[in-house]
Structure 1
C-alpha cells in the first residue's frame, strides 16, 4: 500500500510539473518568431489571408510572424512539414478543403491526419466558375457544349489534387453530364496565370476572382451558392441556370498534435481578435469569405462534418478518388 501511495504521489507530481511548465510556456508565448505554413504557392487567396492575419498577430504579439509557402503535391508538402514540427505553437498551418479531402481521396497520403490540433475555423467561401475574358466560352451553355462535343477536351485548373476547385469541377461535370480534364497546380496563383494565358479553359475559384472579372481579365459564369453572393451580386447562381450545385471551400488554422492547450488557447484568442480588426476584416470581406472564428472544439466538429459529407459522396459512387 505504501509503495502504491508513493507511486501515485510521484505520478501526481509529474503531472503537476508538466502543467506548470505548460502554463509557464503559455505565459511567455510567443517569445520568438512564429511561422504560418501555407501549403500553396505564393500569391493565392490562402496566402493573402495568412499575410494579413500574420501582420496583425506580429504587431499584437510583439514578435515576427513569418508566412512560409510550401506548395505542391495537393497541399501534402506543407501539411507534412507541420505534422512533423515541434508541438510548441511556433509552427502553425493555414490550410483549406484539401485537409479533409486528401485523407479520403488520396492513396499516397504522406502524413497522419490525426497529428494535428484544430485551432480556429477562419471561414467559408463558395466556388465560382470563371473563364478567360477572351475565351470563346461566353456562357455556361458554351462550356457544357464544349464538354459534350469533345469529351476530355475541356480543361479545368485547380490549386491541387483533391482541392476544393478540383472537387467542385468534378461535381459540376457530373451534374451537367460532361467529361473534363483536370489540371492540378501548386496553388491558385499559378493556375490563374495559365488561365490568363489561355492554357486552360476555366477554374472554380472563390468570389475573390470577382476583382479580375471587373478588371476585364476573367468572365464569371456561375457561383455554387443558394443565393447570389454579396461580394459578387452580378454573378448568377448555378441553381438559377438549372444546375443543382452548392459547394465551396473552407479555411482554417491547425497546429501539431501535442501543442499545450494553454498555447492553443492563446493562439485561438489571437486569431479571433485578428478577424475583428477592421483592416484584416476588410481583406477577408473583399475576398468574399464568410468569416467564422470560434473555438478549437467548434472547428473540430466542423472538420468531422466535412469529412463525413465528402465520404458520403464517395460512398454514393461519385468518382473523385485521386490516384
Structure 2
C-alpha cells in the first residue's frame, strides 16, 4: 500500500469519526446576522415612539446590527402582538406589548392567547398618565371636571389613543366612581389625540405626558396624574387618590418575540435590551415623558402577564365591557 493511499484512508476514517471538520459541517449562523425590527403600536413622535428610538439605537450598538422601529398604530396598540402570531420565530422581529393586549381575550374574539402564544423577553418601562384640558377651559380642577360632567350628562368629551386602551378604561372607571357619563373620542395614537386637544377639537384628553411641554408653555392645563405619588415635574397637580378617585395606573410594557423562538436567541435579545435600557440616554428620554424604567426579566415578565390578565378580566366585567 502506498503512503499516499494510506493518508487518504486515514483522512476518510477521521472524517467519518467526526475528528476533522469537512466543508459540509457549516458553523451555525451567528445571531443576529441581519437587521432586527421592533414593532410598536403607536404613532411616530409620541411618548412610546420617542424613547423606543433611543433604545433601538442603543441596542443596535450592542448587537452589531441595525434595530429598526416600525410603527403599527391603531386598535389601542395591540397590532404588534397580533402580528407575532404570523411572524417567523427567528428573533428578527420583536413587538412592544402594552397593557391592552392582556384584555383582548375578554373584549373581542381572538384565536390566540396572550398568556401562551407570546414569548416574553423583557419588561422595559411604565407609562405616566394624566388628564389635561386647554388652558382657556373653564374647567380648572378635577372637581370642576366632575361637576361639569354631572351638570351636562354625556356632553363632556375626552380623547385617548384608542378604544379599550388603558386610558379609555381608566377614564370609564373614573366616571363610574364619580357617577357621571363621559363621551369617549378614540384616536389612532398619542400624537393625534394631543393635536386634537390643542386644536380645540376635543374638550380634554387622557394621555401619557406628551402634553407636558404644552402645559409648561401655558397651552394646556393638567387636572390630575394617575401614579401613586405626584409628578416631580408637576408637584402641584394632585393624584386621582387625592381627589377621591381610588385608582393608580402606570401600565408597564415590554418586548416579546413569537412563540417557539430559540431560548438562546431570546436570551441574547434580553441581555442586549437590558444593557440598552440601562444607558443614561434612554432614562433621559423616558424622563421627558415622566416615565421610569420598569425592568422585568423574562420569567418575571411572563408571570406579570398571567397576573395582569386575571385583574383585567375583573375590570372589564365590572365596567360591563366584556364581549
TM-score using structure 2 length? 0.85
In structure 1, C-alpha distance between the alignment counterparts of 2:273 and 2:81, rounded to whole Å: 20
For residues 162-212 of structure 1, the C-alpha deviation after alignment (integer angstroms, 9 at most, x for no partner) is 211111111111111111111111111111111111111222223453232
SS in 2 for 1:117: strand
Tell me the residue number matched to 1:285: 287
Quick check: 2:190–2:208 contact (8 Å CA) kept in 1?
no
Q: Counterpart in 2 of 1:182?
A: 184
Aligned residue in 1 for 2:140: 138
User: Is the alpha carbon distance of 1:109 and 1:49 closer, same or farther for their aligned partners in structure 2, counting shifts above 3 Å?
Assistant: farther
Which residue of 2 is the match for residue 318 of structure 1? 319
> Alpha carbons of 1:132 and 1:83: their partners in 2 closer, same or farther (altered >3 Å)?
farther
Q: Please, which runs of 5 or more residues in structure 2 have no aligned partner?
A: 1-24
Larger radius of gyration: 2
**Deviation readout 1:39-92 (Å, 9 max, x if unpaired):** 122222111122111111112222111111111122343332232110111110
User: Residue 204 of structure 1 aligns with which residue?
Assistant: 206
Give the conservation status (yes or no) of the 8 Å contact 2:229–2:239. yes
Shift of 1:108: 4.3
Summarize deviations over 1:196-247 as a string: whole Å, max 9, x none: 1111122222345323211222211111233212343232112222222212
Question: Using the alignment, how far apart are the partners of 1:249 and 1:293 within structure 2?
Answer: 13
166, 169, 172: which is aligned to 2:171? Answer: 169
The normalised TM-score by structure 1 is 0.85
Unaligned runs of at least 5 residues, structure 1: 1-20
Q: Provide closer, same or farther for how the CA distance between residues 79 and 294 of structure 1 changes in structure 2, counting only shifts above 3 A.
A: closer
Give 1:150 shift. 2.0
- Give the match for residue 99 of structure 1: 101
Equivalent residues, number? 297
**Equivalences for 1:42-191 in 2 at 5 Å?**
42-104=44-106, 106-109=107-110, 111-113=112-114, 114-191=116-193
Aligned to 1:255, the other structure's residue is in SS state strand
Distance 2:121 2:196 in 1: 34
- The separation in 1 between residues aligned to 2:112 and 2:283, in whole angstroms, is 32
Q: What is the distance in 1 between the residues matched to 2:286 and 2:292?
A: 8
Hey, what's the Cα distance between the residues in 1 that align with 2:240 and 2:217?
Answer: 23
- Partner Cα distance (1:40, 1:111) in 2: 22
